[in-house]
Amino acid sequence: MSTSHAQRLNERLQTRRARIGVIGLGYVGLPLAVEFARSGLSVIGFDLDARKVTEVQAGRSYIPDVATEDVARLRAAGLLEATTDFSLVSTLDTVNICVPTPLRKTKDPDLSYIVSAVESIAPRLKPGMLIVLESTTYPGTTQEVLQPILERDGLRAGVDFFLAFSPERVDPGNVTFSTRNVPKVVGGLTPICTAMARALYSTAIEKVVTVSSPQVAEMVKLLENTFRAVNIGLVNEIALMCDTLGIDVWEVVEAAKTKPFGYMPFYPGPGLGGHCIPIDPFYLSWKAKQSGFESRFIELAGCVNASMPHAVVTKITDALNTQQKAVNGAHVLIAGIAYKKDIDDVRESPSIDVMGLLHAKGARVSYTDPHVPRLAGDHWAGRTDLTSLELTPAALATVDCVAILTDHRALDYDALLTAPLVVDTRNAVRRPHPNLFRLGAPSSHAEEMVELAEV
């Protein structure tokens, strides 16, 4: 039976008559839906957020990496639509699940979004349908969570329908690598499930890499992001060490990366942010604990990275002390609150943590970010709505210290340097200045640089 289902689905994909569904129209789902539609497939995007649905239906993009022109063109061609009506799942040939997988406060995986999505699919599942989970999760989720729900009414995965996992590999703001040209890893429940998932992605993605099972594909994603988290934790610890030893960590990294083998540069910063790197290692360590394995290395890196906002506040405190100012009552301007440069996403941003810590110490906190015009009060510990400060001379005259936490290219660093103090956690200001203090470099280093430049 699975062979005939596979032949029919493959034929519909190849002739572009298949109907594709994408559940979750965020940073992962919308770019994926657009790529499928661009390849000539008819795509329906599902989301509970009526605002997103309205924007897509109007031919507009709310994701920086997706051009509004593309959405408008695909809408006009009848290849892309969005809806909150999950009953339309019954009309589909394939469904990709691209919903969030956050952590609970106890650092346990929160699969409620995945379960909700699968529960909406299960009563509408039909023979020959392909279901692919893309949401990052722990190894075993596809078989332990999705399969039992989908098989509840008698259809069997690998026989009556196809089930696979394919980790998302989105890097917001990356102008070189997009959904289309990043290789897609796919692991199906059975070989024919893998083949069907490969057939789906091959319609829109340049290269598809198959692995032997969903568990391997799930582990691939966790390895990729744990690799980054551990190496960032290492360089963050080196930065704190350099601070103590009076060495410039940025100079160290620049020199080290000239080695053409055996080294890959990572850079320190105020902490980890985004929807993947701060979260995924905890999915892995949580799953390991279920098997009695203690992932000490991963958790240690997590502790180092989580401590970085506190180290930044200490650096700001030390900078203020050089001018006989206290944190309590000081006006600290945070430059950049997105979790990485040149995007508008503040999820898990260390800037938000730094703002909260400063607020708790009595500082008056404001921010400037060309990509985030407003910050709602429920997004940070201050509980007050904030708007991005325009970098006028009058506004900067009220600031005691500027903390550069996200190195957006659009920030006016010359204007920021007119502040009495600047704490740079990203090495964004690459020239000597008497008011400059940098993470990973001794506090007196800026003054020494000026003296050397004048010799």
Catalytic residues: 276
DSSP state, residue 111:
-
3-state secondary structure of 19: strand
Task: Tell me the C-alpha distance between 377 and 366, whole Å.
Answer: 12
Other beta carbons within 10 angstroms of residue 60's beta carbon come to 13
Closest of 372, 313, 311 to residue 337, by C-alpha: 372
The two structure tokens encoding residue 300: 């240690």
Strand bridging mode 184-188 / 130-133 = unpaired
Task: Tell me the C-alpha distance between 209 and 189, whole Å.
Answer: 15
Task: Tell me the C-alpha distance between 84 and 71, whole Å.
Answer: 18
Q: Is the dihedral of CA 225, 228, 231, 235 positive or negative?
A: negative
Other beta carbons within 10 angstroms of residue 256's beta carbon come to 13
Closest of 397, 444, 402 to residue 425, by C-alpha: 402
Distances, alpha carbon 209 to alpha carbons 16, 132, 203, in Å: 22, 15, 14
CB 281 within 8 A of CB 301: yes
Residue 254's contacts (CB-CB under 8 Å, 6 or more residues apart) are none
Task: Tell me the C-alpha distance between 319 and 412, whole Å.
Answer: 21
Q: What angle do CA 129, 135, 137 make, to 5 degrees?
A: 115
Task: Tell me the C-alpha distance between 190 and 31, whole Å.
Answer: 27
3-state secondary structure of 108: coil
